[in-house]
Amino acid sequence: MNALVQVRGVCKHFGGIQAVDNVDCELHEGEVVGLLGHNGAGKSTLIKLLSGVYPIDSGEILVRGASHRFESPRDARAAGIETIHQTLALAENLDAPSNLFLGRELRTRLGLLDTDRMEHEARQVIQRLNPNFTDFKKPVSAMSGGQRQTVAIARALYFNARILIMDEPCAALGPAETRMVLDTILRLKSEGIGIFLISHDMPDVFEVCDRATVMKNGAVVDTVKIADVTPEDVLGMIILGQKPKSKEAA
């Protein structure tokens, strides 16, 4: 098996709180792995470790078999991991192209920002995701939830990420926009991109995920194949921290 990401025994604590406790999980090419659990179960901290926001205390993160220590989000991006945070992490006062290239701006030979080329490139990638998106001079603050999500996804895709982390991408969206995001996930999966998906919505999880890793109190309860379990099994894992009795763990 060709693992894109392997997380081995990763720990992170804040003061006396063990936010992530000896976590193992894996992500393969063309696979969607759901990260599930209550609020405060450690999912968001885990993805912040994977995206380089916090350094890990102990354990190991391997990307394509090579061990990495992420000191900043830049390092994670350099390793090919793109993250779509729940807050989307967009600068609301700036327009779509500025946000898409934030921290990785295209420049002219003189070292100045190449704003026209960035707008052109942003137009290509964003309109492929959402053909209704036309106003590229509008600040993010004037955009709808779906448009913001489009910008955040486009930012992750433009740089040819092979590993994508999505933290509750549908939480603030209406039905049509949720559909667009789910379709995007399925398309990316078919292109061989590996995705960690955090979600609280069971139908979404059962539609797009291949496996699910359930966390409780910072530790992994179990990792299961979605095809082998029912939503009730997964809810039991999330709420009670029990492994499903009927099926073998994946």
Partner 1 sequence: MRSILDKAGFDARFSALVLALAAIWVALAVATDGVFLSPRNLYNLSIQTCVTAIMACGMVYLIVARQIDLSVGSLMAFTGMLIAWTQTNWLGIDGNVGWLVSIAIGIGAGVLVGVFQGWWVAYRGVPAFVVTLAGYLMYRGAAFLVADGQTLAPLSDNFQRLGGGLQGSLGPVWSWLLGAAGVAALVVQTVAARRSRARYGARLAPLWADALKLVLIGGALLAFVGVVCAYPDPASEDGGGKGLGLPVLMLLVIALWLDLVARRTRFGRHVWAFGGNPEAALLSGLPTKRLLLQLFMLMGALSAIAAMITTARLGSGTHSIGQMAELYVIAATVIGGTSLSGGTGSIAGAIVGALLIQTLDNGMVLLDVSSAKRQIFIGMILIAAVWFDSLYTRGAKR
Question: Phi/psi at 162 (nearest 5 deg)?
Answer: -100, -15
Q: State the number of CA atoms in the 13 A half-sphere of 244 facing the CB.
A: 21
54 near partner 1 (CB under 8 A):
no
51 near partner 1 (CB under 8 A):
yes
66: helix, strand or coil: strand
CB of 144 to partner 1, least distance (A): 14
DSSP assigned state of 114: -
Select from 67, 141, 183, 201 the one that contacts partner 1 (CB under 8 A): 141
CB of 94 to partner 1, least distance (A): 6
CB of 108 to partner 1, least distance (A): 9
Q: Which distant-in-sequence residues (6+ apart) come within 8 Å of 214 by Cβ?
A: 36, 37, 220, 221, 222, 223, 224, 234, 237, 238
Select from 85, 162, 211, 216 the one that contacts partner 1 (CB under 8 A): 85
* Structure tokens that stand for 166 in this block: 């999505």
CA gap 40, 223 in Å, rounded? 18
- Cα angle 17, 21, 25; round to 5: 145
CA gap 24, 93 in Å, rounded? 39
The stretch among 34-42, 97-105, 191-199, 200-208 that binds partner 1 (CB under 8 A) is: 97-105
Contact assessment for residue 56 and residue 11, using Cβ atoms and an 8 Å cutoff: yes
Select from 58, 67, 72, 144 the one that contacts partner 1 (CB under 8 A): 72
The stretch among 58-66, 92-100, 193-201, 223-231 that binds partner 1 (CB under 8 A) is: 92-100
Binding mask 174-193 for partner 1 (x = CB under 8 A): --------------------
CB of 195 to partner 1, least distance (A): 18
CB of 238 to partner 1, least distance (A): 26
102 near partner 1 (CB under 8 A):
yes
CA gap 163, 18 in Å, rounded? 26
Given the rule CB under 8 A, which residues bind partner 1?
51-53, 72-74, 77, 83, 85, 87-94, 98-99, 102-103, 105, 107, 111-113, 115-117, 119-120, 136-137, 141
